């Protein structure tokens, strides 16, 4: 696995993202968006800056990092929102196995997916997303930490039994309004799901309401699970509600087309300041919950951390990059 790790270290952040884009058509529909969201949640650029900083703790404070941003502390659970997570033990073993790995990154991903597919007896496309995620996890955590992780699946028995078809159907379905809903007219209410593996992880939203504001209706205790949560504010960490803090960024697993357009002067501009993926797509997968208004049922993922590092990484004083010991990898084939 050390040889594989050293090979993965030769690819920069842009090459990894190009590989994700290039292989998107190979990833099963159920995990296509989830894979992109995961790579947005755990950017290699941030990891490299923290790894090479002269004073890592000082840099973490400078970037305003809050929550669980260290991937090494969540090797087995960071990708829980991928359908392919249920095959994580087999994918992890495939990555750790002795193998004559191809010379290019897409080829390595394909080799891992094929090996895991033979073990699980499932379609290879189901393994592409989690294979990409697993390889990037190895890249960021290193051989020792990756090998030490037990490789557990963090899903309930009920969640494991769901098929991709069942989950896609649930994602695409809006709430049934019924007679009462029809009588309400425009005052519709929709369900926001923030953890597809927990049947209770939902709250209701009034048509056109911001997601973060709607989350306030959920008065359950979330601070014990995530210290960033404010009592009485619901499951989404939030501070300002004006696109100024970046605390409430979320990934949109399903329903991006049901959200309000991104406002240039607020959300788009601030996302660049935070360092999160700038939403150039008309239906972006990363949004600020305090700005995104919903006009239908949506499914989101709440990242376990937040920060404000856009532009600041370029001014960081770095130690020599340890990955410079490895020769450059061949370019990612288009």
Secondary structure letter of residue 175 according to DSSP = P
For position 265, what pLDDT does the model report? 76
pTM for the model stands at 0.92
At 286-312, the pLDDT tens digits run 999 999 999 999 999 999 999 998 877
At 62-115, the pLDDT tens digits run 999 999 999 999 999 999 999 999 999 999 999 999 889 999 999 999 999 999
Sign of CA dihedral 295, 238, 85, 153: negative
Q: Coil, helix or strand for 32? A: helix
Lowest-confidence segment of 122-136, 243-257, 261-275 by average pLDDT:
261-275
Lowest-confidence segment of 35-39, 52-56, 89-93, 201-205 by average pLDDT:
52-56
pLDDT higher than 90, residue 184:
no
Domain chopping of the chain, boundaries: 2-154, 165-306
Tokens in use for 239? Answer: 């501070």
Residue with tokens 């496309």: 125
Mean per-residue pLDDT over the chain, rounded: 90
- Once rounded to an integer, what is the mean pLDDT over residues 12-19? 95
The band of 185, judged by pLDDT with boundaries at 50, 70 and 90, is low
Give start and end residues of each alpha helix (H) in the chain. Answer: 2-8, 13-23, 29-41, 44-52, 56-62, 88-96, 105-120, 125-141, 143-148, 157-161, 164-171, 178-184, 211-215, 269-274
Lowest-confidence segment of 117-121, 180-184, 250-254 by average pLDDT:
180-184
Q: How many CB atoms lie within 10 A of CB 213?
A: 18
Secondary structure letter of residue 293 according to DSSP = B
Secondary structure letter of residue 76 according to DSSP = T
pLDDT higher than 90, residue 24:
yes
Domain 165-306 bears CATH identifier 2.60.40.3710 = no
Sign of CA dihedral 93, 95, 98, 100: positive
For position 39, what pLDDT does the model report? 97
For position 180, what pLDDT does the model report? 52
- List CB contacts of 151: < 8 A, sequence separation 6 or more: 76, 88, 89, 92, 93
CA-based end-to-end distance of the chain: 26
Instruction: Note whether 156 and 197 are within 8 A (CB).
Output: yes
Taking the mean position of all CA atoms in its chain, how far away is CA 51?
21
Instruction: Note whether 182 and 173 are within 8 A (CB).
Output: no
Instruction: Note whether 91 and 127 are within 8 A (CB).
Output: yes
For position 19, what pLDDT does the model report? 97
Residue 186 β-bridge partners: none
Instruction: Note whether 307 and 65 are within 8 A (CB).
Output: yes
For position 179, what pLDDT does the model report? 52
């Amino acid at each position: 696995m050390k040889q594989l790790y050293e090979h993965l270290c030769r690819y920069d952040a842009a090459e990894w993202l190009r590989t994700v884009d290039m292989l998107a058509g190979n990833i099963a529909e159920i995990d296509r968006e989830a894979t992109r969201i995961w790579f947005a949640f755990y950017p290699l650029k941030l990891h490299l800056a923290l790894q090479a900083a002269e004073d890592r703790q000082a840099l973490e404070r400078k970037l305003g990092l809050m929550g669980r941003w260290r991937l090494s502390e969540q090797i087995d659970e960071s990708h829980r929102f991928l359908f392919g997570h249920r095959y994580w033990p087999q994918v992890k073993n495939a990555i750790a196995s002795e193998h004559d790995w191809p010379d290019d990154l897409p080829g390595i991903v394909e080799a891992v997916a094929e090996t895991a597919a033979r073990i699980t007896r499932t379609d290879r496309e189901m393994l592409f997303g989690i294979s990409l995620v697993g390889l990037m996890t190895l890249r960021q955590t290193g051989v020792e930490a990756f090998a030490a992780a037990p490789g557990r699946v963090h899903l309930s028995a009920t969640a494991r039994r769901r098929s991709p078809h069942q989950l896609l159907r649930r994602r695409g379905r809006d709430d049934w309004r019924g007679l009462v809903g029809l009588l309400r007219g425009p005052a519709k209410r929709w369900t926001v799901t923030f953890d597809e593996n927990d049947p209770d992880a939902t709250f209701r939203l009034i048509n056109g309401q911001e997601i973060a504001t709607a989350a306030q209706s959920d008065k359950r205790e979330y601070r014990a699970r995530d210290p960033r949560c404010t009592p009485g504010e619901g499951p989404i960490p939030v501070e300002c509600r004006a696109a100024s803090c970046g605390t409430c960024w979320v990934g949109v697993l399903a329903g991006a087309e049901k959200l309000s357009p991104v406002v240039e002067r607020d959300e788009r501009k601030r996302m660049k300041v935070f360092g999160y993926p700038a939403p150039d797509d008309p239906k972006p997968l990363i949004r600020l919950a305090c700005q995104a208004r919903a006009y239908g049922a949506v499914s989101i993922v709440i990242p376990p951390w937040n920060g404000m590092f856009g532009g600041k990484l370029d001014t960081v004083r770095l130690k020599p990059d340890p990955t410079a010991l490895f020769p450059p990898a061949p370019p990612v084939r288009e």
